[in-house]
Structure 1
Amino acid sequence: MGNLVKEKIKNGEKTVGAFIGIYSPAIVEMAGHAGFDFIVIDDEHGAFSYSELENMIRTAESVNLVPIVRVSYDPSSIQKALDRGAKGVQVPMVNTREAAQAAVALAKYPPYGTRGAAYSHRAARYGKDSGRAFLDRENEDTLVIVHIETPQAAEHFPEIMSVPGVDIGFIGTTDLSVNMGKSSPNDPEVQALVDKLFAQGEEMGAAVGIVAGNLEGVREGMQRGSAYIGVVGTSIITAAFASVVKEAENSK
């Protein structure tokens, strides 16, 4: 079945997707029709039941979006997301090599990890797929994306990215700025650290992702060489609403 985002990144292509933190299959459909590569269903900050998570994943597949889940801090959330059919997980607050290894272990079946095996769930087509062929395909297709969002994670970035099975180091600039004691991701010290992480990623041949709150953020991510840019969907929608209201006010 494959994972188009993983294939594109391996081929040196850039990918763009949208974070969605509210339960809305319709917004997922809109994102797919708009031409995004992936959707990130935000189970860290969003509010989803597992049934809702599954419906969002199912909708993503219907419009050719690769479904990714930013998981919660409950270790079981990685397996829950993948069993529902997610093609990858984004794991927040990965600050050390050991934390990266733990994330990979939870996302991969033996011999590469400890993900619990079952064939009755949606990812295995409710029992239609099974055995070594299914396990190997899941191990190959699943993206593991670790969040770099603290000074500690930035310090250990080369070690984290050298962990087998880690596909992308995703820079969360909001958390990074907060954890650096800065008032904005645009603070020069924060931006200097982001540039350093991109330079290290390029030197290592490691894929680096970044969050974008608007079109300018997407452009900056592209210019920095980001392989995986996640646009904050609610920010885009809110800004679009505000621009309409402003235009209406100016026309009165």
Structure 2
Amino acid sequence: MCNTIKEKIQNGQKVTGIFIGIYSPAIVEMCGYAGFDFIVIDDEHGAFSYSELENMIRTAELVNLAPVVRVSYDDASIQKALDRGAVGIQVPMVSTKEEAIQVVNKAKFPPLGNRGVAYSHRAARYGKDTGQKFIEQSNDEVLVAVHVETREAVENFEEIMNVEGIDIAFLGTTDLSVNMGYPDGPQHQDVQEAIALVYEKARELEVPIGTVAGNESMARQAFESGSVYVVAVGTTMIANTFSTFIKSVDASKE
């Protein structure tokens, strides 16, 4: 296992990824050829069987994309993603220190956690990688990002990020705004103040921050604000491209 994005972040570099929530190895290939650093296969809001998840991960590797999975709420989701070969996980709705500890327990082998051990799966090259070397490498290489997307998570930010094994705080701005009572989006002043507070706390703790970006301008702004791990939304980008094309063509018909 070689986790290129974790290495880049540890070396002070910034990385750009893309959420994909539909099963399409072809889109994964396009993202790799376009030059993204990583893909986030969205098993929270997307629809994937475990076989499809594995094929998306396999395709990402073929085009030099680091495969990350945003896991579902199923208890086995972290285990399944990592056994399929994901080099990182994003875990939604982590609001307390206790929940962060549970994430690490599922993502890391003993002594750091309680991840179930097997060497027959794809991540261990079907038995080619075994024993202490595989366990230590997995514990070192797997990237663990927890979503900060509730008021409670903002309040507990320091405790969450001080849990050993958590690598990145990922700001889920849409969920945060809804959780705070503003369903129309994160533009409300209260939400913006909460976001700014998270960035301030992250700087104090020297914790890497990630977030989602709806377009190029938002991605640039996120990096300028201090994010090192910015993820675009693939389906939104595709839909917007289709809409822009049709508007342009329709205008030429007049």
User: Could you say which TM-score interval applies, normalised by the shorter chain?
Assistant: over 0.9
SS in 1 for 2:18: strand
Are 2:55 and 1:55 equivalent residues in the alignment?
Answer: yes
SS in 1 for 2:109: coil
User: Corresponding residue for 1:105?
Assistant: 105
Q: After superposition, give the CA deviation of every residue in 1:208-243 in whole Å (9 maximum; x if it has no partner).
A: 100111111101111111010010111111111111
User: Corresponding residue for 1:237?
Assistant: 238
User: Corresponding residue for 2:29?
Assistant: 29
> Cα offset for 1:74?
1.1
Name structure 2 gaps, 5 residues minimum.
Answer: none
User: Corresponding residue for 2:125?
Assistant: 125
Are 2:248 and 1:247 equivalent residues in the alignment?
Answer: yes
Q: Following the alignment from structure 2 to structure 1, what is the Cα–Cα distance between the partners of residues 165 and 111?
A: 12
> What is the root-mean-square deviation of aligned Cα atoms in Å?
0.7
Letter in 1 for 2:139: N
SS in 2 for 1:31: helix
User: Corresponding residue for 1:20?
Assistant: 20
> Cα offset for 1:203?
1.0
> Cα offset for 1:2?
2.2
User: Corresponding residue for 1:184?
Assistant: 185
SS in 2 for 1:2: coil
Letter in 2 for 1:41: I
Q: Following the alignment from structure 1 to structure 2, what is the Cα–Cα distance between the partners of residues 167 and 220?
A: 22
> Cα offset for 1:152?
0.5
Q: Following the alignment from structure 1 to structure 2, what is the Cα–Cα distance between the partners of residues 158 and 217?
A: 26
How many residues in Structure 1 have an aligned counterpart in Structure 2? 252
User: Corresponding residue for 1:83?
Assistant: 83
SS in 1 for 2:41: strand
> Cα offset for 1:195?
1.3
Q: After superposition, give the CA deviation of every residue in 1:57-91 in whole Å (9 maximum; x if it has no partner).
A: 00000000000000001121100000000001101
- 1:142-157 pair list within 5 angstroms: 142-157=142-157
TM-score by length of 1: 0.99
Q: Following the alignment from structure 1 to structure 2, what is the Cα–Cα distance between the partners of residues 243 and 19?
A: 21
Q: After superposition, give the CA deviation of every residue in 1:142-166 in whole Å (9 maximum; x if it has no partner).
A: 0000000000011101111111100
Letter in 1 for 2:144: V
SS in 1 for 2:30: helix
**What percent identity do the matched residue pairs reach?**
60
Q: Following the alignment from structure 2 to structure 1, what is the Cα–Cα distance between the partners of residues 217 and 188?
A: 16
Are 2:82 and 1:72 equivalent residues in the alignment?
Answer: no
Q: Following the alignment from structure 1 to structure 2, what is the Cα–Cα distance between the partners of residues 20 and 244?
A: 21
Q: After superposition, give the CA deviation of every residue in 1:108-167 in whole Å (9 maximum; x if it has no partner).
A: 000000000000000000001100000100000000000000000111011111111000
Structure 1 outlier segments of 4+, above 2 Å:
none
Q: Following the alignment from structure 1 to structure 2, what is the Cα–Cα distance between the partners of residues 159 and 98?
A: 9
Q: After superposition, give the CA deviation of every residue in 1:179-223 in whole Å (9 maximum; x if it has no partner).
A: 011121222221221111111101110001001111111011111
Letter in 2 for 1:148: V
Letter in 1 for 2:247: K
User: Corresponding residue for 2:169?
Assistant: 169
Q: After superposition, give the CA deviation of every residue in 1:91-120 in whole Å (9 maximum; x if it has no partner).
A: 110000110011011000000000000000
Letter in 2 for 1:77: S
